[in-house]
Amino acid sequence: MQDTQHSPWRFTTAPMMDWSDRHCRYLFRLLAPHARLYTEMVTTGPLIFGGEEQHRRHLQFSAEEHPVALQLGGSDRDDLARATKIGVDWGYDEINLNCGCPSERVQRGAFGACLMAEPSLVADCVKAMVDVAPSHIPITVKHRIGLDYDERYSFVRDFVGTVADAGCQVFIVHARNAVLKGLSPKENREVPPLRYDVVSHLVRDFPALTFVLNGGLTSAAQCVDLLDESTSTPPNLRPHGVMLGRAAYHDSYCLTQVEQALFGTPVRTREAIIEKIIEYTAREIAATKHRSHPVRVRDVARHTLGLFAGQVGGKAFRRMLSDPLLLAENDPELFRRALPYQSQYDDHRQPFLDAMAG
């Protein structure tokens, strides 16, 4: 399936706390040239009150990452407006408001999924963000389909309608409820049932808006099936895009399959990806060596552990790139030495292979 009239949100990668930093996004861009990438959630405080070091830590990205979206966490309209302006000045292509995170820490800050209970407040925040952003920088919202065990469609329908009236035209919908008490963030990604039909109903009821489906997607086949115009699903029920989260992280090479299926992009080999990662890591180490928090091999390596998921030698690859002694050398060549397909193994790799064989 190749679609030449696709939405800019046709294929996206999810904002993931503690994971989707700039090194992760660079890898995702290598694997999926057409994907829209999202930062991990950044709260407004560090952007408003932080200095240059804080801004660099939270906002820096590579030019190759475009199109890239900044996800903000907050519930104060003025703070969100200021943070939006900062994100725009840094060159982000989109500013996204998090209305879907159910963690207790986020709830204590009165933002994330609990904001869905106050659609008028979300609308005020979105309006303030829209007012400070140039017209070509969209303000979008990521949200759930309900709170706790309330499964009324009218709840999410009215939320979307209210927020859309404030100027939001793109909604990224995690097709599960958020249970605010009693479930961990991980359980909230697994326990509440998936209800893709709710997203279809939103597409039907708001034909002028863009809806991206998130939640439970684990394969290229699923993504294609949801978007494929040749299926029996009527156009007015199909989402306009899909968002991959944990699947993209734990088996990152699956991004190449989605990319090829949706856009016809030739697939890069894993070895070619690793060569690019070596170049990138060496460049980042050199560029940041005089900073208070210089980039180290371990900062990049942790994001590559899923690159050989399910492949022969994949476990040894992960073990090498997780070994503290090898990482302490801070040598980007470690990525090449860890490749499962090498015909010549150095002294660092052989013990891992011997252990695997035993």
Picking from 47, 48, 44, the residue whose alpha carbon sits closest to that of residue 57 is: 47
Eight-class DSSP state of 344: S
Identify whether residues 204 and 323 lie together within a single domain: no
Instruction: Give the end of a domain, one of 263, 291, 314.
Output: 263
Q: What is the CATH number of the domain that holds 202?
A: 3.20.20.70
Are 247 and 278 in the same domain? Answer: no
Cβ(195)–Cβ(145) below 8 Å:
yes
Residues 27 and 86 in one domain: yes
Q: Do residues 321 and 200 share a domain?
A: no
* pTM attached to this predicted model: 0.92
Domain C-terminal end among 200, 232, 263 = 263
Catalytic residue set: 101
Q: Quote the domain boundaries for residue 215.
A: 11-263
- pLDDT by 10s per residue, the chain, length 358: 444 467 999 999 999 998 999 999 999 999 999 999 999 999 999 999 988 888 999 999 999 999 999 999 999 999 999 999 999 999 999 999 999 998 888 887 788 999 999 999 999 999 999 999 999 999 999 999 999 999 999 999 999 999 999 999 999 999 999 998 888 888 988 899 999 999 999 999 999 999 999 999 988 899 999 998 766 677 788 999 999 998 888 999 999 999 999 999 999 999 999 999 999 999 999 999 998 889 999 999 999 999 999 999 999 999 999 999 999 999 999 999 999 865 333 444 444 444 444 3
Regarding whether 306 and 192 lie in a shared domain, the answer is no
Q: Let me know the angle formed at the C-alpha of 243 by 81 and 154, rounded to the nearest 5 degrees.
A: 70
Same domain, 305 and 281: yes
Token pair for residue 223?
A: 């993504």
In a domain, 6, yes or no: no
Rounded to whole angstroms, how far apart are CA atoms 295 and 314? Answer: 25
Residues 178 and 139 in one domain: yes
On the 0-12 / 13-18 / 19+ scale of CB atoms within 10 A, 123 is buried
- Assigned domain for 2 exists: no
Helical spans, DSSP H, in 166-320 = 185-188, 196-205, 220-227, 246-250, 254-263, 270-288, 297-301, 314-320
Residues 110, 213 within the same domain: yes
End position of a domain, from candidates 219, 242, 263: 263
- Phi then psi for 280, rounded to 5 degrees? -60, -45
Based on the fold, state whether residues 230 and 182 are members of the same structural domain. yes
Measured CA to CA, the distance from residue 324 to residue 244 in angstroms comes to: 30
Do 250 and 329 sit in the same domain of this protein? no
